[in-house]
Amino acid sequence: SSLSLYLARESASSGLSQQHSLTSQDIRHRILQPSEPGRRASPGKGKMWQRVRRAAVAAIALAVLPTSEALYEDEVGQYEWAYQQIGRPTAVGFAEGADKLFVASEAGVLASVALKDGSLSWRRWADQAGGMKLLKVAGRTLVTVSDKNLVQSWKSSSGDLIWQKQYDNTSPVLDLILSTRASKQSMILVRQGEVESRSLLGTSEWSWTLPEGSGRLWASVVSGNSICVVAAEADGSHVQGLKISLSTQQIESSSDLPQAIGTGLRRGAFIVVDGFVVSQVKEKLTAAPICGGTESSLELPSTSFKLLPWQRTAGVFAVSDGSSTLVLGLDEAQGLRKLRSFDGEAVVGPISSLHEDEGTQPVAVALTKEEGTQVQLMDPDSGNVQPAMMMKGYSVKDHGKVCLVLMHEMASNHHRIAITGADYSLVLFENSAVRWLREEALSAILQAAFYSRSAAATLADRRNRPAEEASQGLGALVTQLTHIVQEPAKIVSAFAEWVTPTRRTSSRDHHLLPGAVVPSSAEELRDFGADKLVIAVSAARKMFAMEATTSEVVWMKYLGDGGCVAGSDDCNPILRLLPSAASPVSELLVLLPMAGTGPKAIWFDPLTGAVQKEQQLPAGTSMRHGGALLPLTSTRSIELPSDCEVQPFVLVDDSLKVHMLPDSPSTERIASEHNEKLFFYEVDKKSHSVQGYAIRGKEMAQLWNVELGGDGKESIVADATPEHREWAHVPVYIKGDSTILYKYINTNMLVVATEEFFGLENNTALNLYVLDTITGQVLHQSRVPGGAQPVHLVACDNWVVMHYQNPKRTRFELLVVEFYQAKADDGPWDIIFGGAKTHNHSISAHYLESPVPLQQTYIFQAGVTAITTTATGKGVTPRSIIMGLTTEHLMRVSKDVLNPRRPYPAPAAATATPAGGKVKTPVPSQFAPTKEENLPPYAAVLPLRAQDALTHSHPMPKVRGIISSPSGLESTSMVFSYGLDLFFVPVQSAKAYDVLSPGFNYVLLYLSVAVVVALWASTSYLASRKALQDRWK
């Protein structure tokens, strides 16, 4: 083990130094020592010992030497996991035969979901810029339309793209209609100013253009051999229905529609039901046939009722006020009529079956309740319903209201029902039981954080694990000897199993998502200190706690819609999770915006998700722009007072009002202990300024203000604070000659990037500001000519990295800045013997000296969507920058590569310029690298090595955020990225220098030691016997 650890440290590299291949001959020269002087050994004994040593070294070298740095195919999935998702469903459809479910999502994804287990048969990211709004199933062909007017045709069996066309945004696609004429199927695209017919292969058949002066098109329907459209002005005036022949593309007839239809068009309160356009004006519904005919109207109980989207149910639609739902019927004979009412918000969906030609098909009415989901079949003519089917496992408390419902009847007593919920979930019921459930809210994560279980919780969990490893102990080996002693082969195999540590496995039931795969060495990673939860909050207002190493969902909680539209900025929850070592009590706080009232503060138990306390904030309290949540701890004791039920916070809202959470005397008492010691800063992107405040009780006192966009040409585009401040760090850097550089560590540092426009050609430049949030002092400022958005920042310890675009040079660049103290190395005397300079002491932020900045710029080869840095418990391991690239990769770049101390090549140092365009300036002698450091010379282009890709064969599109946390091993950092997909991987910036690799050959090592011991015993006996015989001569 010592030799293995020694070799691992020798070969550990951060990507800068050359890799040295160690052979068994090199190891022999390192381990073998010369004979001690003055001591003679017998020739026979010396030669024998030399052979023994050579044999032992060769055997150990073969056991411990790595043969390659490559990653074998079977090692993929050993520790990391990836989970593919669809996004919020916007349209669903069964395949012919109902063996697959096709889903289009708000994330621009089209997927085929296996009905057996909910896994993805195939997935296509159809539109990277927008979401999918229409999905049509035409036999073996799928046709989709995105909200960016991209029309595409796909093979339903494989997901292969058949045809696509991007339409102009000036005339967006309103509807897609499948039409069959003379056994030939076509798709009719209705745009604001044109109707176009194409084959399913994309061949243009005909087109019709709306005459000038007719406004624009709003709605359409195919009736027989004609297509009828609704045309009106943008303000809803001059509403008319036009009937167009599909054969001649000529207007056959036109009719004026009531002005109530135009009012509904202008307000967006209208739907198309079969051949009718239905609009709502206050509490009145008006339905008019598009192809001409008699209109009808209906009075609703109140104006709170709103039209629900039509689900392609023939002659049936619904209106709801959230507490009750009215199902209405519509046809030419009876017009608008009320069919039935339901308590709660119900959704009407179509039913497909094998007997669709036998008569009028019923419709499915679904709604969620506390006990489960209720589905009833309703006759669209009479409104009569069959007995309700109550399906447990999908309730309104856990998933909210139903959004879409689609039912396929296989036989009289066999049916499948697909339902989407307000929490973005997609569930399939089969015969009133949940077949599978996909939690697509995980595709819209807003915030995520690692939560470390306490030692007691981890120990209790390990005790509850099945005792499946008992057969690996020595006692079990002894008890089985009587059964295997008769067969030598079994003895050898049993000994090999005993001496070889197998990876820990668990037979417990994992609550995995459909299609998720547990890494093969997940339990082993948990035992190395990775036993953590990933707690996330989604735009669907749903919270999740997942096992970091397995993707298992430990608990989840739907927070309700709060009366507002999910997904909007006003509805996004805010999560605040303290580090486990920073709070003795509850550590998870969620601020939940509520429509019409102030936000609600909820304290959760991070381990179980149980609600511990709730507090309603005053109306008008807004946290849309973030505000601030500051945890409070008592200055007199680590433990909070006994009258504190939960962790107290100070909340500063968007109006700079201070709130105590919870609002109790104990919170105010603790806050008074921190009077004039709590500081708050605000980055105002509207006024392009940064302000600093001091919190004095419930009052705010402004301390400083930095105007960054006073001339109106400079705007704030990004800001960041140092990451991983709760973990230890190394305050110095040791150079190759053993001298010390003192890092400038300031936990109150704020990094702000601004974009500036100047010149007649509207050229751009980026400005990087580093500020002290206590004093408002600008510690550093850099200007990047040609830089532009998008900008991504990451800061940690004493450095800042900024990724940005340079459109003038058509490339991406990385700017790295490091800060050091202007302090000379005093030598090892005070460190070894102790002195006044080595004692810990506090200093006011007003007396901190300005740092010495070192800066370099590199050319990067890809765009970035998210960026962070690794974290370790002690900060000893070199950090790596983790970036989510626009190429759908998750890439690791060592921070040692992004080192502004890298020397410029000597011949070009005086004339050449770096990637940023500025003249190169030599690094000050105090900070210049020494020869022993082996820093590579500066190179403008930063290469991307294939072995630094973390995702391997898992593409990661639309990465929105990346978080990291230490594990129990100093060499290993845990990284979790979220976006459309989820991905977890342990990252080792300097390799696993503190643990043996999983493929270590224990059997060969043990056998080598056994052979050495046996040879030592035998040769010692022979040598002593020969020496005795020599003395008798």
DSSP string for 539-602: TTSEEEEEETTT--EEEEEE---TTS-TTSGGG--EEEE--GGG-SS--EEEEE--TTS--EEE
Give yes or no for a contact between 800 and 718, defined as CB atoms under 8 angstroms apart: no
What are residue 40's DSSP bridge partners?
none
- Per-residue pLDDT band at 353 (split at 50, 70, 90): confident
**Predicted pLDDT at 566:** 58
Highest-scoring range by mean pLDDT, 526-540, 702-716, 893-907, 963-977: 963-977
For residue 40, pLDDT beyond 50? no
Taken in order 381, 382, 386, 389, the sign of the CA dihedral is positive
End-to-end CA distance of the chain: 45
Q: Is the dihedral of CA 442, 443, 447, 453 positive or negative?
A: positive
Angle at 445 between CA 442 and CA 446, to 5 degrees: 165
Average pLDDT over residues 7-18: 34
Residue 669's pLDDT is what? 84
Which helix (H) or strand (E) element contains residue 1008? helix 1002-1032
pLDDT(764) > 70 = yes
Check residue 940 and give its pLDDT.
93
Element (H, E) at 764: strand 763-772
Q: Which residues of 456-495 are buried (b: 16+ CB within 10 A; e: fewer)?
A: eebeeeeeeeeeeeeeeeeeebeeeeeebeeeeeeeeebe
Could you tell me the pLDDT band of residue 9, with boundaries at 50, 70 and 90? very low
Least confident span in 397-406, 664-673, 855-864, 1002-1011? 664-673
- For residue 675, what pLDDT is reported? 75
- Cα(278)–Cα(296) distance, integer angstroms: 10
Return d(Cα 993, Cα 1002) in angstroms, integer: 17
Q: Please check the confidence at residue 546 and state whether its pLDDT lies above 90.
A: yes
CA within 13 Å, CB half, 997: 17
**Residues 499-526 pLDDT 10s:** 555 444 444 555 788 988 888 888 888 8
CA distance 167 to 150: 6
> Which region among 222-236, 294-308, 898-912 has the lowest average model confidence (pLDDT)?
898-912
Pick from 266, 57, 132: nearest CA to 1008:
57
Task: Give the other-Cβ count within 10 Å of 207's Cβ.
Answer: 13
Kindly report, residue by residue over 777-832, the tens digit of the pLDDT.
Answer: 999 999 999 999 999 999 999 999 999 999 989 999 999 999 999 888 877 666 66
For 562, residues 6+ apart whose C-beta sits below 8 A from its C-beta are 541, 571, 592, 593, 594, 595, 600
Pairing of strands 763-772, 749-758: antiparallel
Q: Given this model, what pLDDT does residue 39 score?
A: 38
- Give SS3 for 298: strand
For 356, 501, 622, 675, the CA distances from 700, given in Å and listed in that order, are: 69, 60, 17, 11
Residue with tokens 């998870």: 588
Work out the average pLDDT over 124-134: 89
Angle ∠(686,690,693) on CA atoms, nearest 5: 120
pLDDT at 450: 93
DSSP per-residue string spanning 823-873: -----SHHHHH--GGGS-----GGGPPPPEEEEEEEEESS-EEEEEE---S
Distance in angstroms (rounded) separating the CA atoms of residues 968 and 995: 11
Q: How confident is the model at residue 405 (pLDDT cuts 50, 70, 90)?
A: very high
Higher pLDDT, 916 or 298: 298
Separation of alpha carbons 207 and 253, rounded Å: 18
Task: Report DSSP state, residue 385.
Answer: B
Model pLDDT, residue 74: 56
Token pair in block for residue 867: 């960026």
CA distance 400 to 440: 14
- DSSP 8-state assignment for residue 322: S
B/e letters for 749-766, b = 16+ CB within 10 Å, e = fewer, are bbbbbbbbeeeeeeebbb
- The widest CA-to-CA distance across the chain, in whole angstroms, is 133
User: Would the pLDDT of 636 be above 70?
Assistant: no
Residue whose C-alpha is closest to residue 942's, from 1030, 860, 838: 860
Q: Given the DSSP bridges, would you call strands 959-966 and 973-979 parallel, antiparallel or unpaired?
A: antiparallel
Q: Are the beta carbons of 167 and 191 closer than 8 angstroms?
A: yes
Q: How confident is the model at residue 946 (pLDDT cuts 50, 70, 90)?
A: confident
% of the chain at pLDDT higher than 90: 49
Whether the pLDDT of residue 976 is over 60: the answer is yes
Alpha-carbon span 226 to 703, nearest angstrom: 72
Q: What is the mean pLDDT of residues 324-343?
A: 93
Measure the CA–CA gap between 521 and 721, rounded to whole angstroms: 35
Q: What is the pLDDT of residues 691-750, one digit of tens each?
A: 999 888 788 889 999 998 767 788 999 999 999 988 888 888 988 888 889 999 998 999
* Distances, alpha carbon 1006 to alpha carbons 63, 95, 1002, 1012, 1015, in Å: 10, 59, 6, 10, 14
Q: Under DSSP, is residue 113 helix (H, G, I), strand (E, B) or coil?
A: strand
pLDDT exceeds 70 at position 265: yes
Helices 43-64 and 2-11 cross at an angle (nearest 10°) of: 60
Q: What is the pLDDT of residue 3?
A: 29
Q: Give the mean model confidence (pLDDT) for residues 407-435.
A: 89
Tokens 């990673």 belong to 525
| Nearest one of 721, 718, 733, 875 to 796, comparing CA atoms | 721
Q: Contact at 8 Å (CB) between 44 and 52?
A: no
Phi, psi of 978 (to 5 degrees): -135, 150
What is the rounded CA–CA span in Å between residue 24 and residue 3?
12
Dist. CA 393–CA 414, nearest whole Å = 19
Q: CA distances (Å), 556 to each of 85, 464, 600, in order?
A: 17, 22, 18
**348 Cβ contact list (under 8 Å, min separation 6):** 308, 311, 313, 316, 317, 318, 327, 363, 364, 365, 378, 405
Rounded-to-integer distance, Cα 800 and Cα 941, Å? 19
Q: Which of 150, 152, 154, 146 is nearest to 166 (CA)?
A: 150
Contact 172, 192 (CB under 8 A): yes
From 74-88, 197-211, 958-972, the region with the lowest mean pLDDT: 74-88
Q: Which of 530-539, 667-676, 859-868, 1008-1017 has the lowest mean pLDDT?
A: 667-676
- Average pLDDT score over the chain: 82
- The pLDDT-based confidence of 398 (bands split at 50, 70, 90) is very high
Contact 975, 962 (CB under 8 A): yes
The CA distance from 821 to 827, in Å, is: 16
Q: How far apart are CA 647 and CA 496, in angstroms?
A: 52
